[in-house]
Amino acid sequence: MRLALPIALIHLLSVSAPAQDYSDLRIEKVATGYIFTEGPAWSRDGYLIFSDIPGDKLLHFKPGEKPTNFRDNSNGAIGNTFDVQGRLYSCESHSRRVTRTDKKGKIEVLAERWQGKRLNAPNDIVVRKDGQIYFTDPAFGNQQDTRELDFYGVFHISHRGELDVVAKSKGRPNGIALSPNGRILYVTNSDQRNVRAYDLDRNGEASNERVLISNIAGIPDGIKVDESGNLYVASARMEVYTAEGKPIGGFVMSETPSNCAFGDGDFESLYITARTSVYRVRLNVKGSLQY
């Protein structure tokens, strides 16, 4: 289903900064009828995976076709991503673990405990081209009641499968993304309404934590990066920033966005999950491809 939203519903925001022109922006609704969509991830095989968290499903969407179930009983999967081998990584909030699914459908648990204690509720995930894995571990709603860890974490899984902490946060980390060269890690913080950046070395180790973007309107959630290093943050609306954290602009949607992912054959479409539906926005810039 492709429903182009009337331009009247798209309230463009003008921001004084080096800007991409959003004046001709059109938003298509490509899938709808869900409870709360999240975790869009584009496969090089030409389809989008996304989550319906309360429906406990992972959905498979191929442009021009109706979405189909990819996995029932997804254990509350939220964030998803792919690696260079086409394997799917998912943050399962109900089972409180991170899993990897190979192309034959075999599921492998990559992380579920830190120093003997269960993770809070893994939320979003990204994999660098060399296989380094990073994910956020906040706790929202009733997830708070069953926490075993005394911190909200940003975690790293090394090539050897070893789990270590990138950051122990007072606020809840949420979305996560990498710069085009894979040397900077970006994390949104929903409580502190900011985006933090970390430098990554060749071995995937993080250093130099800093606040890159402050005072984001709404609650920042998912984040993605284009090939120029610009940041796309889902919050009260879709916000766009330069790699230096300067605002470029943004656009309001008919539903509050939760996350986003670049996709399509040319990688110039931004797929946006927003409450009951999934939307697509055609842009004139390619997404940063880590796989």
How far, in Å, CA of 133 to CA of 252, rounded? 31
Q: Are 209 and 163 in contact (CB under 8 A)?
A: no
Q: Is the Cα dihedral 34, 144, 223, 242 positive or negative?
A: positive
Report the percentage of the chain scoring pLDDT > 90: 87
User: Which residue matches tokens 């509350």?
Assistant: 76
Residue 138: closest CA among 99, 192, 183 = 192
Vertex 240 angle, CA 281 and 46, to 5°: 35
Segment (H or E) for 269: strand 269-274
Vertex 121 angle, CA 141 and 232, to 5°: 85
Q: Tell me the per-residue pLDDT of 248-290, one tens digit each, with 9 for 90 and over.
A: 999 999 999 999 999 999 999 999 999 999 999 999 899 998 8
> What pLDDT sits at residue 168?
96
Which domains, from first to last, does the chain contain?
3-282 (2.120.10.30)
pLDDT range class, residue 13, cuts 50, 70, 90: very low
Q: For all residues of the chain together, what is the average pLDDT? A: 92
> What pLDDT sits at residue 20?
65
Enter the tokens of residue 205. 């180790």
Burial 46-73 (b: 16+ CB within 10 A, else e): ebbbbbbbebbbbbebeeeeebeebbee
pLDDT over 80 at 291, yes or no: no
SS3 state of residue 157: strand
Q: Tell me the per-residue pLDDT of 179-198, one tens digit each, with 9 for 90 and over.
A: 999 999 999 999 999 999 99
| Cβ neighbour number for residue 268 with a 10 Å cutoff | 17
Q: Give pTM, 2 decimals.
A: 0.93
pLDDT over 60 at 8, yes or no: no
pLDDT range class, residue 19, cuts 50, 70, 90: low
Burial 27-36 (b: 16+ CB within 10 A, else e): bbbbbbebee
| Cβ neighbour number for residue 104 with a 10 Å cutoff | 5
Q: What is the mean pLDDT of residues 227-253?
A: 96
